[in-house]
Amino acid sequence: MNMKINDKEFPKEELLKLLKKSKTQAIVFIRKIVNIELKEAKVIIDNLEKDPNYYDSVNKKKRAKKIVEILEMIAEVKNVENKGISTNRDRMESSPINRDKKKGSHFIKSSNPFIKGKIFWIFSLILILVYFLLKLNQ
């Protein structure tokens, strides 16, 4: 019997054999064929591990709705994190305890090494000029 996920069919027996050998191999197998994320593949494999006929039953539509709800919840969490709304992780990072663990900011914010080099040499020349000017005034 074949399973069909995301319009891609694959032999269910082969997946069950892999599942008996190793759960991780089964997850990798299903991810490779169906092109889904790790969490989705893990849910499918966990359901098959509990009941090998999980996706063959009459309740397939109910279970599909549950999976869709879980995926929607995951998408909502990702959207919340992307919109900049503070999450628990943000609050933990900004707490006084963890604030000291962050790396300090640098004087030169640019990531371009050419600009950093130019600023370094200009600053060095200014220091040399100041040194010689002070030496001449003595």
Number of domains in the chain: 1
Indicate whether 28 belongs to any domain: yes
* Confidence band for 34, pLDDT divided at 50, 70 and 90: confident
Closest listed residue to residue 33, CA positions, set 45, 50, 51, 47: 45
Instruction: Say if residue 60 is exposed, middle or buried (CB neighbours under 10 Å; 0-12, 13-18, 19+).
Output: exposed
The residues with which 11 forms a beta bridge, in sequence order, are 2
Indicate whether 22 belongs to any domain: yes
Give the pair of three-digit tokens for residue 124.
């060095």
Domain limits for position 1 = 1-57
* Confidence band for 58, pLDDT divided at 50, 70 and 90: very low
Q: Tell me what pLDDT residue 2 has.
A: 76
Please tell me the number of Cα atoms within 13 Å of 66 on its side-chain side.
9
Give the pair of three-digit tokens for residue 55.
């996706």
Instruction: Say if residue 92 is exposed, middle or buried (CB neighbours under 10 Å; 0-12, 13-18, 19+).
Output: exposed
Instruction: In whole angstroms, give the CA distance from residue 25 to residue 55.
Output: 20
Asked if pLDDT for residue 128 goes beyond 90, the answer is yes
Indicate whether 73 belongs to any domain: no
Indicate whether 8 belongs to any domain: yes
CB of 3 within 8 A of CB of 10? Answer: yes
Indicate whether 70 belongs to any domain: no
